[in-house]
Amino acid sequence: MNPNDLHYTKSHEWVRIDGEIGTIGITEHAQKELGEIVYLELPEVGHVYNAEEEFGTVESVKAVSELFTPVSGEVVEVNKRAVGEPGIVNDDSYGDGWLIKLKLSSDEEVGKLMSAQLYTEYVQSEEKAK
Amino acid sequence: MSATAPIALKRTPLYSLHRELGAKIVDFGGWEMPVQYEGILEEHRAVRERAGLFDVSHMGEFELTGPDAFATLQRLTPNDVGKLTDGRCHYSAFLTEAGTFVDDLLVYRLKQDSYMLVVNAGNTPKDFEWARSHSQGQLRLENKSDAYALIAVQGPLAARLVARVADSDPSDLHYYAFRDMKVLGEPALVSRTGYTGEDGFEICVAAEAAEKVFRALLEAGRPEGVVPCGLGARDTLRLEAKMALYGNDIDATVTPWEADLGWIVKMKKGDFLGREALERQKREGVPRKLVGFEMIDRGIARHGYGAMTPAGAGIVTSGTHSPTLGKPIGLALLPSGADAVGIEFDVDIRGHQRRARVVETPFYKRRKDVPA
């Protein structure tokens, strides 16, 4: 189930807004499609990104996938535990498996993202197109 | 997105069982095959520690019989078929006149004048045509690929597992030996071969018997943690054992010298396809070599990524995360002079130069307790 308090992208990332901080991760659907994640490449604290910019990569045994920021901002924290133990992204993609936290540079971008319901429908339509 | 119309994918006799077992199915060389069931890492571990079952029925089987079968095979393949006795098989290849791989394959000597070849799935039509066009004299070449299923049982428990469903204990079989058995009453050819770097067997049965045999093996092994395994684990297992994959590490641009497979080329046996080119390349020098590497920097170097060495450019042919070693490993064709263990080079990982080092192979070697 995709949590209702998150905002979602078409590239299968989520962001949780808490004041001026946005916590970013990949969705349950994304981790399932990738399979067991063995490697995460994440940016350094201090890096500034525009929305929809590539901020890292996630690799499973079989595949590699780029990560895109749902919103603009400066990296204020990186999930070191996930880098050392990438399997937690599979186990808890909406919790302990978060990736980075951004200090948001705009509060308007979130409105362009999908709600849980829209994202769930989006994934279903993608599945059907296969 | 591809603009081409979808072509019908082929299925093995075990397709519906894979579905039932919850496999994730992918297109592999025109076949709908299981890439994984529960997960690649767990399936990999099962094979190294216990045993795993693989459906490799997509592989092609040819039978070659007749008074001229031996002479034809000696000409078609670089290994010495004269060294095989009844019930023995060996690794070999079809080579072009340029000495490069048409395919790699196994040659089984069933009896004098009767052989079976096992070839790569995606190459089956091409290989059959290749064999047909180079066959001479009194012989019959048959493509039996649709009639047979092939099930691989791999891992330290494999012999015990096969013994439970077969009418004879396969423990005394030598590596690369085979014999006819009855498995659940069905005629089967059981060979001590595999593609995982582990002890194991490949069971060739009639397509109609495949599901019954696979289910029985799974039932017999379940209490000990035997699991069905997909092509994902097959790839990580074979790569740790440094076994070449056609289409990745070897193809029609690569010779056995370059692929570190010189041991399948027996120059003393007489003429064979590709021999002249291989003699020439040996004389003039082999320009590149297939080597194993591990990453010094972080990241996985994958198939097709560029490599830059002190001796010039090369290319990564296979790369993955090694479940046994817990780090990224791979194979690369590097220019001669940059192929020695310890040499460092850069891999272009999606625009970033990442350091790698040539290492000893295989990456993983099992304890040898099988009669050689």
The answer to whether residue B203 is domain-embedded is yes
Nearest-10 Cα torsion for B130, B133, B136, B140: 70
Best interface-test mutation with B: which of A40, A61, A64, A127 has the largest number of B CBs within 10 A? A61
Find the CB nearest A64 among B41, B298, B300: B300
Mutation target among B40, B235, B240 for the A interface, most CBs of A within 10 A: B40
Q: Is pLDDT of B60 > 60?
A: yes
**Which of B240, B259, B275 marks a domain boundary?**
B240
Q: ipTM value, please give it.
A: 0.82
CATH code, domain with A38 = 2.40.50.100
B367 belongs to a structural domain: no
- With cut-offs at 50, 70 and 90, classify the pLDDT of residue B2: very low
| Cβ-Cβ contacts under 8 Å for A45 (sequence gap 6 or more) | A75, A76, A77, A78
Instruction: Tell me which of B240, B257, B276 is where a domain ends.
Output: B240
Task: Kindly determine whether residue A61 and residue B298, on different chains, have CB atoms separated by under 8 Å.
Answer: no
Nearest to B191 by CA among B282, B267, B88, B339: B88
Contact A118, A124 (CB under 8 A): no
The mean of the pLDDT values for chain B is 96
Q: Dig out the tokens for A56 from the structure.
A: 């890292």
Question: Can you tell me the distance from the alpha carbon of B227 to that of B44, in angstroms, rounded to the nearest whole number?
Answer: 10
pLDDT of residue B5: 53
Residue B3, pLDDT > 50, answer: no
A64 in contact with chain B, both atoms CB, cutoff 8 A: yes
Residues B291 and B316 in one domain: yes
In a shared domain, residues B312 and B190:
no
* Number of domains present in the structure of chain B: 3
pLDDT single digits (tens) B23-32? 999 999 899 9
pLDDT digits (tens, 9 = 90+) for B220-257: 999 999 999 999 999 999 999 999 999 999 999 999 99
- Residue B110: its H or E element: strand B101-111
| Amino acid at site B126 | K
- How far apart are alpha carbons B327 and B300 in whole angstroms? 9
What was the pLDDT predicted at B372?
Answer: 53
Residue A23 lies in a domain: yes
Boundary of a domain, candidates B240, B275, B307? B240
CB pairs under 8 A between A and B: 36
- Asked if B350's CB is within 8 angstroms of A35's CB, the reply is no
Position B88 scores a pLDDT of: 98
Q: What is the CATH number of the domain that holds B87?
A: 3.30.70.1400
Residue B78 sits in which domain range?
60-143
For the segment B63-88, the average pLDDT, to the nearest whole number, is 98
- Encode pLDDT of B250-309 as tens digits: 999 999 999 999 999 999 999 999 999 999 999 999 999 999 999 999 899 999 999 999
pLDDT of residue B82: 97
Alpha carbon distance B71, B67 (integer Å):
8
Is residue A123 domain-resident? no
Residues of chain A contacting residue B40, judged by C-beta atoms under 8 Å apart = 35-36, 60-62
Is the domain of B188 the same as that of B205? yes
Backbone angles phi and psi of B232, in degrees to 5: -60, -50
Q: Are residues B55 and B152 in the same domain?
A: yes
Residue span of the structural domain in which A86 resides: 7-117
**Residues B76, B27: one domain?**
no
Q: Is B99 left (phi over 0), alpha (psi -120 to 50) or beta?
A: left
In a domain, B263, yes or no: no
B contact set with A (CB within 8 A): 24, 35-36, 39-41, 232, 236, 298-300, 302, 320-321, 323, 328, 350
Q: What percent of chain B has pLDDT over 90?
A: 95
**Domain annotation covers residue B366:** no
**Is A58 domain-assigned?**
yes
CATH number of B342's domain: 2.40.30.110
Q: Long-range contacts for B350-355 (Cβ within 8 Å, ≥24 apart)?
A: B350/A57, B350/A64, B352/B299, B353/B308, B354/B295, B354/B296, B354/B297, B354/B298, B354/B299, B354/B301, B355/B295, B355/B296, B355/B297
Instruction: Indicate whether B68 pLDDT > 80.
Output: yes
CATH code of residue B181: 3.30.1360.120
Tens digits of residue pLDDT in A3-60: 999 999 999 999 999 999 999 999 999 999 999 999 999 999 999 999 999 999 999 9
What pLDDT, on the 0 to 100 scale, is given for residue B371? Answer: 61
The CA dihedral of A126, A130, B5, B11, to the nearest 10 degrees, is 170
Structural domain includes residue B333: yes
Minimal Cα–Cα distance from B57 to chain A, Å?
22
Same domain, B117 and B194: no
Question: At A128, which helix (H) or strand (E)?
Answer: helix A116-129
Residue A36 is given by DSSP the state S
* B98 lies in some domain: yes
